[in-house]
Chain A
Amino acid sequence: MNSTTQEIIVFLIVALSIGWAIRRIFFAKKKGNGCCGSSDCDSCPHCQNRCKK
């Protein structure tokens, strides 16, 4: 794999990670009832699907 391809893959991984973090921090669903504001209730270890209940 040449260095340019590697750089593109790294760029994509980093961009996706930062995008995910931004979505989680700034565009989280805030449903209350104990929800910590995670964008994904199912995988949130803190809320344990509380916002769905």
Chain B
Amino acid sequence: MVSEGETIVSVVIMEEGKRITLADIPEKEECIIVKVNGHGGFRHRVMEMGFLKGKKVTVIKNAPLQDPIEYQVMESHVSLRRSEAQHIEVVSVGEKVDGIIGFNGTFSEEMQRIVHEKTKTITVALVGNPNCGKTSFFNHATGLHEHVGNYSGVTVSSKIGTFHRNGYTINLVDLPGTYSITEYSPEELYVREYITEQHPDVVLNIVDSSNLERNLFLTTQLIDMNVRMVMALNMYDELGKKGYQLDDAQLEKMLGFPCAPTNSKSGKGIDHILDHIITVYEEADEITKHIHINYGPELEGAIKKIKPLLSEHSEVAVDFPFRYVAIKLLENDSTTYKHLEKHLGNIDNIRETVHKCQAEIEKEYEEDTASVITNAKYGFIRGALKETFKKTKEEKEELSYAIDVVLTNKWLGFPILGFFLWVMFECTFIIGEYPQSWIESGVKWLSEMAQSLLGEGILSNLIVDGIIAGVGGVIVFLPNILILFFFISLLEDTGYMARAAFIMDKVMHKMGLHGKSFIPLLTGFGCGVPAIMATRTLENPKDRIITMMAIPFMSCSARLPVYLLFVSAFFESNQALILLSIYLIGIAVAVLTALLLKKTRFKDDSDQFVMELPPYRIPSARNTIIHMWEKAVQYLKKMGSIILVASVIIWVLSYFPTTNVEMEQVDAKIAQLNEDNSLDSESKEELLEQLEIDKSAAHDKNSYIGQIGQIIEPVVRPLGFDWEMGVSILTGAAAKEIVVSSMGILYHADKEADSDSSKLVDAIRERSNNPEAPLTPLVAFGFMVFVLLYYPCIATITAIAKESNWKWAGFSVLYTTSVAWVVAFLIHQIGSIFI
């Protein structure tokens, strides 16, 4: 809107004006930078090299083939490709250099005026859907009276209106209205080419607020292009009339650029938008940040594969960000292919990779890649609107919306989430019980076979007590883990996992974190390492650290065998509930950790992100089977490597030394008893049996691992744990399944079994008679909680160190272990009062 003191300069049918760029300046000449064009990534890189507005640049020389060109800027020599230099607008000092630059190196007044004039000119492109009020906005802003109408079917051209505001000359370019900027119509191509070739300083995206979902689709494409943007939420009044509410402050934080309500008919809010344009141009705006739309693992994987092929050709990065080019290639955009062919010549390897990625995506989703990308964009939009947009009046909803009304309902969301998790854990036990008993029988048979083949001796002891007890103790849980992964896969594929994150989002917001942090936390249910990697999606480093510190509390699948073992042994009646409670304790501690860190170490506000809500879809059987198959292969490989080796090492530590003073004393007693003929045979047998138990206990206690256990026993005894449990906890550093393997070996699982149930479960139940540290259900629960909370495995610790630093990795180890000890201590001590 033109206000007092502002002058309209002109309105012309736009033609490409001749700009002088750095590439036009001959060798040995000097120039002053007035503007750096190009997309965000390129502009930042070039500006970091010193090519800033108002800086003097000297052209040193051209390379023999005229490319690259060497420049001197800020006392340093930098070379730029010609294609890059073409994006830097300059004012040529030319031959008048002596006259313009004063003797002390400062610019003359005339030169300063020219530079000032050029740097104070902002070109703004008006982009939006047809009939969203662009031309009305244009007329209000410039004070002109262009015909307001739709561009469809009309010759494609643009209007440019120039006016002054706050010392700036603003060239407002009214582009044709388009629903997207692909290549389906001349308008779309025109708008796209204008943005990528003319490089407007700011893109003003005008959206119809009363139809945001459709209008924001174009916005997502502009986000991919990484252009400087401002959004006018036009027809804002109609929003209220329809009974809608929009939290525009929240929306702008999520989208990463300023948004403000306008009414282009009355002119309301236009001043505000123009002020935003100036602050965005000056890069003084606090909201602006570049966000990436998350296209989901398959598409993101494809983008990651394509980007390195493009990054070999830096000239491509000048006009478009690599990510944008990769997305366009996946969409089979012929303009992008032509552009690449023009610049790179042969692009067969890129084409081949893109086709391969498309085939994988299409196999997975059973629809073409462009549609998958479109769906993901709408998922992003839906997520953004879910958090910012409210309908107060009833409206007919589409199926996904209708399901969301129930599943993400304020009151029903949590109970439904709880119910799904309960069903998941209940099935893990009930269905898993059958294959589990088959594997147990197999392990038992193998153990007996080995025993009968090898007879008594050290080898038989290693195979039966070490390897079979150690590996067999863990391998029996394979079916349960596969069932759990089956359910996780279902939740992910149907789109419910995103809703679970969305439900938690409100809780996370209260903790000062965004719900997006919940996605890495959910990944942590599978494995800590990919969960730590998933924190890369969080742009704020503080949020990343907080999330990384919370992830170890999300119970990874490797800890599941420990719970299954103890729940089976002590909590037969409420198996699923106990297991669910363990997971919930983990989530609660993770959330409290985030809150604690947010209130102490990281007090600043977190960034706002969009939570994608992809449409619900029927899960594919192929995907679920692949998911389970991969997990089974990984689990079995782990059994054959780290678990096997750990079992052997633990067996060595528990087997040696084979004799000690205490054992010799018991041996002497046995010999004495055998020679004693005064006792009847029954009493003698009973005494001998007791002495054998004493001998075995003396052996265990004095073995290397027993000695280690006794050192740590004072630490674990207040928690109600015996030394075997303490040692098992220690061995879990390598992998959490080893906790169960260690128990299998240390509790002599092979000797305690009866014919009907698991050997290890029986051995653990037997420990409830241990006079020194009885293993009661309370102790068992405390032990499960300790295993849930204590330090993560080495792989996760390393991942934390790599993604942050060793200081945070060390903190994580100390913090998680301290929390585990304190919580287990409270459970044992407080529980002992009541039970």
B partners with A: yes
Chain A residues engaging chain B, CB cutoff 8 angstroms: 1, 3, 6-7, 9-10, 13-14, 17-18, 20-21, 24, 32, 34, 36-38, 40, 43, 45-48, 50, 53
Query: Contacts A1-B454, A10-B462: A46 and B652 contacting too (C-beta < 8 A)?
Result: no
Q: Are B635 and A34 in contact (CB under 8 A)?
A: no
Q: Are B794 and A36 in contact (CB under 8 A)?
A: yes
The answer to the question of B691 belonging to the interface, with a C-beta cut-off of 8 Å to chain A, is no
Q: Are A34 and B802 in contact (CB under 8 A)?
A: yes
Residues of A within 8 A of B648 (CB): 13-14, 17
Closest to A37 in B: B798
Closest to A24 in B: B642
Give the docked Cα–Cα distance between A36 and B798 (Å).
6
Give the docked Cα–Cα distance between A1 and B638 (Å).
31
Q: Are A45 and B638 in contact (CB under 8 A)?
A: yes
Residues of B within 8 A of A14 (CB): 462, 648-649, 652
- Bits for B522-548, please: 1 = Cβ < 8 Å to A, else 0: 000001011001000000000000000
Residues of A within 8 A of B799 (CB): 34, 36, 46
Distance (Å) between the CB of B792 and the closest chain A CB? 11
Give the docked Cα–Cα distance between A3 and B533 (Å).
50
A-B contact list, 17 entries, CB within 8 Å:
A3-B457, A6-B454, A6-B457, A6-B458, A17-B645, A18-B649, A21-B646, A36-B794, A36-B795, A43-B638, A43-B640, A45-B527, A45-B638, A46-B530, A46-B796, A46-B799, A48-B530
Give the docked Cα–Cα distance between A37 and B474 (Å).
24
Distance (Å) between the CB of B332 and the closest chain A CB? 24
Residues of A within 8 A of B794 (CB): 36
Residues of A within 8 A of B400 (CB): none
Residues of B within 8 A of A48 (CB): 530, 634
The answer to the question of B681 belonging to the interface, with a C-beta cut-off of 8 Å to chain A, is no
The answer to the question of B459 belonging to the interface, with a C-beta cut-off of 8 Å to chain A, is yes
Give the docked Cα–Cα distance between A34 and B529 (Å).
8
The answer to the question of B113 belonging to the interface, with a C-beta cut-off of 8 Å to chain A, is no
Give the docked Cα–Cα distance between A50 and B533 (Å).
10
Distance (Å) between the CB of A30 and the closest chain B CB? 9
The answer to the question of B637 belonging to the interface, with a C-beta cut-off of 8 Å to chain A, is yes
Give the docked Cα–Cα distance between A9 and B460 (Å).
11
Q: Are A45 and B462 in contact (CB under 8 A)?
A: no
What 10 A-B pairs are tightest by C-beta distance, nearest first?
A: A36-B795, A6-B459, A45-B634, A17-B648, A46-B795, A46-B529, A43-B637, A17-B645, A34-B533, A6-B457
How many B residues have CB within 8 A of the partner chain? 31
Give the docked Cα–Cα distance between A46 and B529 (Å).
6
Question: Secondary structure at chain B's binding surface: helix, strand, loop or mixed?
Answer: helix
Closest to B635 in A: A45
**Apart from A3-B457, A36-B794: 15 A-B pairs, beta carbons within 8 A:** A1-B454, A1-B459, A6-B459, A6-B460, A10-B462, A14-B648, A17-B645, A20-B641, A21-B645, A24-B642, A34-B530, A36-B799, A45-B638, A46-B530, A47-B795
Q: Are A17 and B458 in contact (CB under 8 A)?
A: no
Give the docked Cα–Cα distance between A47 and B637 (Å).
13
Give the docked Cα–Cα distance between A47 and B529 (Å).
7
A9, A18, A21, A37: the one contacting B459 at CB < 8 Å is A9
Distance (Å) between the CB of A34 and the closest chain B CB? 5
B527, B533, B645, B652: the one contacting A20 at CB < 8 Å is B645
Residues of A within 8 A of B454 (CB): 1, 6
Distance (Å) between the CB of B87 and the closest chain A CB? 31
Closest to A11 in B: B458
Distance (Å) between the CB of A16 and the closest chain B CB? 9
Closest to A21 in B: B645
Q: Are A13 and B798 in contact (CB under 8 A)?
A: no
A21, A38, A40, A43: the one contacting B649 at CB < 8 Å is A21
Give the docked Cα–Cα distance between A38 and B793 (Å).
13
A3, A20, A37, A47: the one contacting B458 at CB < 8 Å is A3
Residues of A within 8 A of B796 (CB): 46
Q: Are B458 and A10 in contact (CB under 8 A)?
A: yes
Residues of B within 8 A of A7 (CB): 458-459
Closest to B529 in A: A46
Give the docked Cα–Cα distance between A24 and B634 (Å).
17
Residues of A within 8 A of B635 (CB): 45
Give the docked Cα–Cα distance between A47 and B794 (Å).
12
Residues of B within 8 A of A24 (CB): 642
Q: Are A17 and B637 in contact (CB under 8 A)?
A: no
Give the docked Cα–Cα distance between A24 and B799 (Å).
16
Give the docked Cα–Cα distance between A20 and B734 (Å).
13
Q: Are B457 and A1 in contact (CB under 8 A)?
A: yes
Distance (Å) between the CB of B710 and the closest chain A CB? 23
Q: Are B529 and A36 in contact (CB under 8 A)?
A: yes
Q: Are B462 and A13 in contact (CB under 8 A)?
A: yes
Give the docked Cα–Cα distance between A49 and B200 (Å).
43
Distance (Å) between the CB of A49 and the closest chain B CB? 11
Question: Residue among A6, A7, A46, A50 with the most chain B CB within 10 A?
Answer: A46
Query: Contacts A10-B462, A17-B648, A21-B645: A46 and B533 contacting too (C-beta < 8 A)?
Result: no
Residues of B within 8 A of A43 (CB): 637-638, 640-641
Closest to A25 in B: B794
Give the docked Cα–Cα distance between A36 and B444 (Å).
35
Give the docked Cα–Cα distance between A6 and B463 (Å).
11
Residues of B within 8 A of A46 (CB): 527, 529-530, 795-796, 799
Residues of B within 8 A of A53 (CB): 304
Closest to A47 in B: B529
Distance (Å) between the CB of B156 and the closest chain A CB? 43
Residues of A within 8 A of B649 (CB): 14, 17-18, 21
Give the docked Cα–Cα distance between A38 and B648 (Å).
19
Residues of B within 8 A of A17 (CB): 644-645, 648-649
Distance (Å) between the CB of A24 and the closest chain B CB? 8
Residues of B within 8 A of A10 (CB): 458-459, 462
- Bits for B438-462, please: 1 = Cβ < 8 Å to A, else 0: 0000000000000000110111101
Give the docked Cα–Cα distance between A47 and B795 (Å).
9
Closest to A45 in B: B634
Closest to B646 in A: A21
B646, B795, B802: the one contacting A32 at CB < 8 Å is B802
Distance (Å) between the CB of A26 and the closest chain B CB? 13
Closest to B735 in A: A45
Residues of B within 8 A of A40 (CB): 641
Distance (Å) between the CB of A5 and the closest chain B CB? 8
Give the docked Cα–Cα distance between A21 and B645 (Å).
7
Give the docked Cα–Cα distance between A6 and B457 (Å).
7
Residues of A within 8 A of B802 (CB): 32, 34
Residues of A within 8 A of B652 (CB): 14
Closest to B558 in A: A45
Residues of A within 8 A of B798 (CB): 36-37
Residues of A within 8 A of B529 (CB): 34, 36, 46-47
Closest to B459 in A: A6
Residues of B within 8 A of A21 (CB): 645-646, 649
Closest to B645 in A: A17
Residues of B within 8 A of A47 (CB): 529, 795
Closest to B460 in A: A6
- Bits for B774-810, please: 1 = Cβ < 8 Å to A, else 0: 0000000000000000000011101100100000000
Distance (Å) between the CB of A28 and the closest chain B CB? 9
Give the docked Cα–Cα distance between A3 and B796 (Å).
42
Distance (Å) between the CB of A33 and the closest chain B CB? 9
Residues of B within 8 A of A50 (CB): 533
Closest to B536 in A: A34
Question: Residue among A17, A45, A48 with the most chain B CB within 10 A?
Answer: A45
Residues of A within 8 A of B462 (CB): 10, 13-14
Distance (Å) between the CB of B732 and the closest chain A CB? 15
Closest to A19 in B: B645
Give the docked Cα–Cα distance between A48 and B526 (Å).
13
Give the docked Cα–Cα distance between A20 and B641 (Å).
9
Give the docked Cα–Cα distance between A53 and B634 (Å).
18
- Bits for B601-638, please: 1 = Cβ < 8 Å to A, else 0: 00000000000000000000000000000000011011
Give the docked Cα–Cα distance between A10 and B648 (Å).
10
